[in-house]
Amino acid sequence: MELIDQTLLPGEFKVISCRTAEDVWDAIKVLRVRGAPAIGVAAAMGVVVAVQNVPDDEKAVLEAAARAADYLATSRPTAVNLFWALDRMRRTAERCRGSGGRAVKEALLAEATAIRDSDAAMCRAIGDHGQHLVKEGCGVLTHCNAGSLAAAEYGTALAPLYRAQELGRRFRVYVDETRPLLQGARLTMWELMRAGIDCTLICDNMAAAVMRQGKVDLVLVGADRIAANGDTANKIGTYGVAVLARHHGVPLYVAAPSSTFDLRLESGDEIPIEERGAEEVTHGFGRRTAPAGAKVYCPAFDVTPAELIAGIITERGLIQPVDRENIGRVLR
């Protein structure tokens, strides 16, 4: 299985091979592959990789698939797409019980490929449902990276931008750099510049001033997990952007496929939030940027309450206003 090593961007574009489930686990853990939908696709492919070199004995293949799915589920806790994709892989393996080891392997490959292809189709549909929000001449702010690198093809939050561009509209995008790992600066800027979209990088702490100057008409962000009431976990800092947007009267839309909803959770309080290593904060730019021994708190995500979200753009349509009833109606 091959993937772009996103930790090296924008300096180097390198495609790496993952030959074992451990390689895939590591790639997800250290964010070589990242973004909720992309993590799901990678994990599904990871199960395929894990069974590849197992002899065609059915019991051995089923055991290897189950082991790999359990193991890959421990790589990162917040993006529900990971667990959604692995559940699909587990169910596929179980459905094939009795048809032989080779058939199980083939079905797993077909399922992982279907997950990837349906992700691409969902992203395109999100673009179609959200493009009308990107008006001619408007200013858009985005946080983190929810584009092609984070999903298949169009991405989620960037999909309406790519579609609006295809439709000939002109607009400007402000890109939060997204500390501590700079997904906005490194990845979103790289993507948007390659696409020829007018984009301007700002530090996270500049967003308030840029909004006050009237430069932002719309905020578009992705999601890692959305609870039944619409509370949304996304990259740390999204909640702050949502508070700023509300203060300045700017609508904030979340773009996410149905695989990012976790309807078992009543509210965002139940979403597990990943905490990452202190060095992501103390060694900001490849060198020490805080005193040795500094105490650090490093949550990778925060939860934006539904009341701050103007709408959720899904592949099945726009959820607006964001409440339990509308979520149920659109997803059903």
Residue 175, Ramachandran bin (φ over 0: left; ψ between -120 and 50: alpha; else beta)? beta
Cβ contacts of residue 132 below 8 Å, gap of 6+? Answer: none
Long-range CB pairs of 188-194 (<8 Å, 24+ gap) are 188/142, 188/144, 188/145, 188/147, 188/158, 189/10, 190/9, 190/10, 191/145, 191/147, 191/148, 191/149, 191/155, 191/158, 192/147, 192/158, 192/161
Shortest distance in whole angstroms from residue 108 CB to ligand MRU = 24
Considering the complex, state which of residue 101 and residue 237 has its C-beta at the smaller distance from ligand MRU. 237
Considering the complex, state which of residue 145 and residue 229 has its C-beta at the smaller distance from ligand MRU. 145
Closest CA to 283 of 188, 179, 144, 175: 179
Q: Is 259 in the site for ligand MRU (CB under 6 A)?
A: no
Shortest distance in whole angstroms from residue 221 CB to ligand MRU = 6
Considering the complex, state which of residue 58 and residue 191 has its C-beta at the smaller distance from ligand MRU. 191
Considering the complex, state which of residue 90 and residue 143 has its C-beta at the smaller distance from ligand MRU. 143
Q: Is 268 in the site for ligand MRU (CB under 6 A)?
A: no
Q: Is 142 in the site for ligand MRU (CB under 6 A)?
A: no
Count CA atoms closer than 13 A to 121's CA, side-chain side. 7
Listed ranges 67-75, 101-109, 144-152, 246-254: which one lies at the site for ligand MRU (CB under 6 A): 144-152
Q: Is 37 in the site for ligand MRU (CB under 6 A)?
A: yes
Q: Is 235 in the site for ligand MRU (CB under 6 A)?
A: yes
Site string for ligand MRU, 83-102 (x = CB under 6 A): --------------------
Q: Is 36 in the site for ligand MRU (CB under 6 A)?
A: yes
Site string for ligand MRU, 185-224 (x = CB under 6 A): -------------------------------------xxx
Distance CA(286)–CA(307), nearest Å, equals 38
Long-range CB pairs of 88-96 (<8 Å, 24+ gap) are 88/44, 88/115, 89/43, 89/44, 89/47, 89/65, 90/65, 90/66, 93/61, 93/62, 93/65, 93/66, 94/62
Considering the complex, state which of residue 49 and residue 144 has its C-beta at the smaller distance from ligand MRU. 144
- The catalytic site residues sit at 224
Q: Is 151 in the site for ligand MRU (CB under 6 A)?
A: yes
Q: Is 183 in the site for ligand MRU (CB under 6 A)?
A: yes
Q: Which residues pair with 220 in a beta bridge?
A: 142, 253
Q: Is 234 in the site for ligand MRU (CB under 6 A)?
A: yes
Q: Is 148 in the site for ligand MRU (CB under 6 A)?
A: no
User: Residue 295: how many CB atoms within 10 A of its CB?
Assistant: 7
Contacts to ligand MRU by CB under 6 A: 31, 34-37, 79, 144, 146, 150-151, 155-156, 183, 222-224, 234-235, 300
